[in-house]
Amino acid sequence: MTTTSPSPASSDDRPTAIANWFLIFGFFASYFVARVFVRDESLPALVRFVLCFFPAIMGGVVIHRIVAFVRSLVDELERRIQSEAFAFAFPAGLLFSMALGFVDHSGLLHIDPWDYWFFHIPLYFVGLILARRRYK
């Protein structure tokens, strides 16, 4: 049992926050690098193959940091809220991707499947708003 300060995160220090922002930036950078170079036929096939997985590896590190953040939260209600936000965002993201796939398949609007993942980010914030409202 922890009886420390009621602040939401126990490891809320500036170096960690800066490192997290660098990781997020690194993830987006790796995504755009991969997106530009995977179709570059002047590169060896092995390099292009590795590039395909590069953003996923960077994303894995970001996921590790997110899980560590939620586990580090001292306040148990905040931990519940964050967990509920992610629990909402994951299936909602799948359903939204499915709907976008249908829209693309219907020919009514072309949405590049490359961009589907990006729509998952606002869904986390929707989940966060809903969870906060529930416990307000």
Could you list the residues that contact other proteins (CB under 8 A)? 1-6, 8, 74-78, 80, 134-136
State the minimum distance, in angstroms, from the CB of residue 1 to other proteins.
5
The region that residue 43 occupies, defined by phi over 0 for left and psi between -120 and 50 for alpha, beta otherwise, is beta
State the minimum distance, in angstroms, from the CB of residue 6 to other proteins.
5
Q: Which is nearer to other proteins, 2 or 42 (CB)?
A: 2
Contacts of 57 (CB under 8 A, 6+ apart): 30
d(CA 116, CA 121): 10
State the minimum distance, in angstroms, from the CB of residue 132 to other proteins.
9
Q: Which is nearer to other proteins, 5 or 122 (CB)?
A: 5
Q: Which is nearer to other proteins, 84 or 104 (CB)?
A: 84
d(CA 38, CA 41): 8
